Structure formats: structure tokens, C-alpha cells
Amino acid sequence: MSQYAIHLDNITYSYEGGAVLRNLSLKVRPGEHVGILGDSGCGKSTLLKIVAGLYQPDSGTVDVAEESSPGKIREKVALVMQQGCLFPLSIRDNISCGHDIPEEKLWASCESASLARWVAGLPEGLDTYVGERGNSGKSRTSSVFPGKPSASMKRKASLSL
């Protein structure tokens, strides 16, 4: 067993505009709580997406929950960002992020978000397309749901999907 739950060593991550993380190293022990603070655009969300296995750094090593493969990390880490967003894809693809996830796990995710009955009632179920810019903001979320969704449905969708 590793002494660190999260171990990032000398990672760098760049967008088209340049590096947002440069030679960053971080060690977090199991059970330890860490706060990430910084100005807007400094790389906080990018760092969390790397830790969750959603992004791969340009250089450096990532070890999370004793895994270094992004796919294996994603199996062990859950990430909920402050602002929810749905991709213009199916509900299935929004939950799985394009990975091959068994049907029962997809439905378990829907169930944990209290959305299974609603999704099952859609004409195409998990394969329902959620449309352009499926952001969780009030005006955009409303365009994702057929009919008029309740405030509770909007909240659950933005938190879970």
C-alpha cells in the first residue's frame, strides 16, 4: 500500500494559450484534507481533472489510489465540479464520458441521482440526446428536459450528470 492517496510528480499541463500547470508536485496522504486555492484561471479545475483521470498531463507522473492509468483512476475517483454541464450527446455518453460502462452501472448512477424513473420514461432512455449546450443554468437546463422540469429535477440533473 502506497503512503500517498494522491502523488503528482512534476506535472505540466498546457492549453493552446500556454501552460496552466508547470512542474507541479503534490503528495496527499490517505485521510488528509487539502484545500486548493487560487485566482480564476490558475489551474485549480485542471488539477482536479488530472487527479480524477479526466485529463493527462503533458509531462510528469500521476498516481492516484495506487493507479497511474487514467482509465483505472476514473474507476476509483468521482469528481463533481461546481458548475454542471451536459455535453451535446446522449445521457449514456454524458454519464460514461464515452467509456465502455456496463448498463447496470449506468442505471445505478441514474438511481443514485434519483433520475432512473425519469430516464426510463424517456422514449430513448439512456440514448436520449440532450441537445446543444446542455449547461445546468436555468435557461439551458430547461431546453434539455422534455416538458417543464421541476426545480428538484433541474437540481438533481445538474448535480449528477
Alpha-carbon gap, residue 86 to 132, rounded angstroms: 9
DSSP 77: -
Side-chain half-sphere exposure of 130, counting CA atoms within 13 A:
24
The model's pTM is 0.57
Place of cell 436555468: 138
Q: What is the pLDDT of residues 11-64, one digit of tens each?
A: 999 998 899 999 999 999 998 999 999 898 899 999 999 999 989 999 999 999
Alpha-carbon gap, residue 11 to 155, rounded angstroms: 35
Helix, strand, or coil here: 156?
A: helix
Burial profile 32-64: b = 16 or more Cβ within 10 angstroms, e = fewer: eeeeeeeeeeebebbbbbbbbbbbebeebebbb
